């Protein structure tokens, strides 16, 4: 009886790992880093988590969850409410189509896939935000923001691969 | 939609060209995208519910943000300490020269203060109450190309109100746009939504300072006859009654150009502590 309960708790906890790590990455994206000139191009780390889990464990990152994580980021960061919910959803939909091809590949195709998602979603974000503000945002900042996000992917992915191996090696 | 039907073991099976689950999934995506756009529209219309939710979430997570921001703040303090050490000798000589200059200004200021006091007594002018300031720590810097805001660790518990000016040691950095119990959100002067009435100190030309979400803010609605020189100081004008007058903002970077950019006094990417100017009511110069 007790072992059944423990198994249930353990399995439930395992299933929540993608969501929890993505939320943790949201929280880590918000505190200041005090880096010169970083403000205008600061990245949203949770996109790395979203991409990784959507490829590795898509069944554990439902579109509704993705939407809610994006909305949580919007409320916390002060971006127009719904903007990152939209960006994350677009990313999730794109990844839903290509995740099977990316799963089990080497790191390079994964990185290229992430780059395409980042540039695609950044463009969606730029477009949505420009429409929202009623004037075009600086495209160069968005470009540098995307390049920095892509550059940081190996570090974030290495951590998530390690977590995934630790958590899902039995299942 | 194409529907294929066939009979199997005497019962009728209907097979759709794509399974119902995919249809539900597609409908769900459509609903979620519509909901995201709906949220954006609501936020654009300054929905009170959206603002309240944002405040509640910032309040709830402010202890966690405070905790997460500590290591970066400690590293920043060490780096700044090292930077200060390396420049100690140079700074010392610069500060000595500046101190001599400021001593001259101090004498002039004392003289002017006495004159000012005498004139106020003559006119029976009482003026505004001096504002009080609340020091706060920056726990969230939700920057990036889409928005330029900060989250600080004080709120209504310390008397912070929506619209309060926020300054650093060097000058204006923004204003409070949302307040929770123990956190507040600041809209930086570099945000595209920021509008601050300012004036050029030397020429007294009035303008509106607005952000671009990238780099330096710019001046809008300058008079065509504006007489600007690079390096001219820009301060808040106090018009509109939201921000107090005379807060230093920055200097003009490119006078004569159509797009007048401002180099802010405050280093907006290195803010650890800020001060909120708490005031019950600001009397706009328009009303004096």
DSSP state letters, A4-25: HHHHHHHHHHHHHHHHHHHHHH
Mean pLDDT of B240-248: 85
Go through chain B and tell me how many residues it has. 288
Please report the pLDDT score of residue B284 as a whole number: 56
Average pLDDT over residues B1-20: 47
**Angle at the Cα of B170 from the Cα atoms of B165 and B174, rounded to 5 degrees:** 25
Q: How far apart are CA B248 and CA B234, in angstroms?
A: 6
CB contact under 8 A, A85 and B61: no
Confirm or reject contact between A158 and chain B (CB < 8 A): no
What does the pLDDT average to over B132-143?
A: 86
The CA distance from B200 to B237, in Å, is 9
pLDDT score at A71: 94
Q: Kindly state the average pLDDT of the residues B158-175.
A: 91
Among partner residues A27, A33, A137, which is closest to B61 by beta-carbon distance? Answer: A27
Name the percent of chain A lying above pLDDT 70. Answer: 99
**pLDDT score at B235:** 93
Give the per-residue pLDDT at B283.
53
Q: How confident is the model at residue A149 (pLDDT cuts 50, 70, 90)?
A: very high
Q: Give the tokens for residue A83.
A: 């903007």
For residue B11, name the pLDDT band (cuts at 50, 70, 90): very low
Which of B34-43, B86-95, B172-181, B183-192 is predicted least confidently?
B86-95
Quick one: pLDDT band at residue B5, thresholds 50, 70, 90?
very low
Give me the interface pTM, i.e. the ipTM: 0.87
Percent of chain A with pLDDT over 90: 39
Give the per-residue pLDDT at B9: 47
Q: Does A69 touch chain B (CB under 8 A)?
A: no
- Per-residue pLDDT tens for A13-68? 888 999 999 999 999 988 888 877 777 777 888 899 999 999 988 888 889 999 99
A42 closest CB neighbour out of B58, B143, B212: B143
What pairs with residue B186 in β-bridges?
B150, B176
* Residues A77, A35: Cα–Cα separation, whole Å: 18
For residue B148, give how far its alpha carbon lies from the nearest alpha carbon of chain A (Å).
8
Whole-number mean pLDDT of chain B?
83
B183 confidence band (pLDDT: 50, 70, 90): very high
Using the Cβ of A134 and the Cβ atoms of chain B, whether some distance falls under 8 Å is answered with: no
For residue B102, the model assigns a pLDDT of 92
Task: Tell me the pLDDT band of A86, cut-offs 50, 70 and 90.
Answer: very high
Strand ranges inside chain B, DSSP E: 3-8, 11-16, 132-140, 149-152, 165-167, 172-179, 184-188, 195-200, 206-210, 218-220, 233-236, 248-252, 260-264, 273-278
**A:B CB pairs within 8 Å:** 169
CA distance B168 to chain A (A): 14
pLDDT for B274:
93
A80: closest chain B residue by CA: B40
The reply to whether A129 touches chain B by the CB within 8 Å rule is yes
pLDDT confidence of residue B59: 92
Three-state SS letters, A73-116: HHHHHCCCCCHHHHHHHHHHHHHHHHHHHHCCCCHHHHHHHHHH
Cβ-defined contact of B149 to A77 (cutoff 8 Å): yes
Instruction: Sort residue B225 into left (φ over 0), alpha (ψ -120 to 50) or beta.
Output: alpha
């Amino acid at each position: 009886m007790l072992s059944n309960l423990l198994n249930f708790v353990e399995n439930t906890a395992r299933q929540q790992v993608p969501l929890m790590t993505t939320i943790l990455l949201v929280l880590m994206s918000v505190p200041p880093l005090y880096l010169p000139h970083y403000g205008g191009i600061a990245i949203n780390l949770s996109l790395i988590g979203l991409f990784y889990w959507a490829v590795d464990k898509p069944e554990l990152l439902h579109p509704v969850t993705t939407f809610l994580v994006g909305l949580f980021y919007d409320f916390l960061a002060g971006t127009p409410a719904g903007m990152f919910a939209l960006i994350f959803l677009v990313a999730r939909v794109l990844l839903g189509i290509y995740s099977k091809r990316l799963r089990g590949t080497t790191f390079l195709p994964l990185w290229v896939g992430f780059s395409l998602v980042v540039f695609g979603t950044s463009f969606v974000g730029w477009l949505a935000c420009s429409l929202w503000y009623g004037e075009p945002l600086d495209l160069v900042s968005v470009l540098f923001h995307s390049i920095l996000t892509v550059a940081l992917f190996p570090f974030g992915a290495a951590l998530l691969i390690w977590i995934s191996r630790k958590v899902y090696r039995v299942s | 939609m194409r529907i294929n039907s066939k009979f199997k073991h005497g019962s009728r099976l209907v097979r759709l060209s794509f399974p119902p689950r995919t249809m539900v999934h597609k409908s769900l995506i459509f609903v979620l995208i519509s909901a995201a756009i709906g949220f954006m529209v609501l936020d654009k219309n300054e929905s009170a519910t959206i603002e309240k939710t944002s405040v509640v979430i910032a309040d709830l997570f402010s202890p966690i943000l405070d905790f997460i921001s500590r290591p970066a703040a400690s590293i920043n303090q060490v780096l700044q300490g090292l930077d200060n050490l390396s420049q100690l000798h140079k700074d010392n000589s610069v500060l000595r020269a500046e101190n001599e200059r400021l001593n001259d200004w101090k004498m002039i200021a004392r003289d002017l203060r006495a004159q000012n006091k005498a004139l106020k007594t003559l006119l029976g002018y009482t003026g505004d109450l001096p504002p009080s300031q609340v020091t706060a720590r920056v726990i969230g810097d939700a920057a990036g190309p889409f928005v330029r805001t900060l989250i600080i660790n004080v709120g209504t518990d310390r008397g912070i109100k929506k619209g309060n000016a926020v300054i650093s040691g060097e000058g204006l950095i923004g204003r409070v746009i949302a307040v929770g119990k123990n956190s507040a959100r600041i809209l930086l002067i570099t945000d595209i939504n920021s509008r601050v009435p300012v004036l050029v100190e030397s020429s007294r030309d009035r303008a509106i300072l607005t952000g671009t979400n990238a780099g330096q803010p710019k001046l809008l609605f300058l008079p065509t006859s504006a007489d600007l020189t690079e390096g001219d100081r820009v301060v808040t004008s106090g018009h509109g009654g939201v921000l107090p007058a005379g807060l230093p903002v920055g200097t003009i970077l490119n006078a004569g150009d159509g797009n007048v950019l401002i180099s802010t006094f405050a280093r907006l990417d290195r803010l650890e502590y800020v001060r909120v100017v708490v005031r019950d009511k600001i009397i706009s110069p328009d009303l004096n």
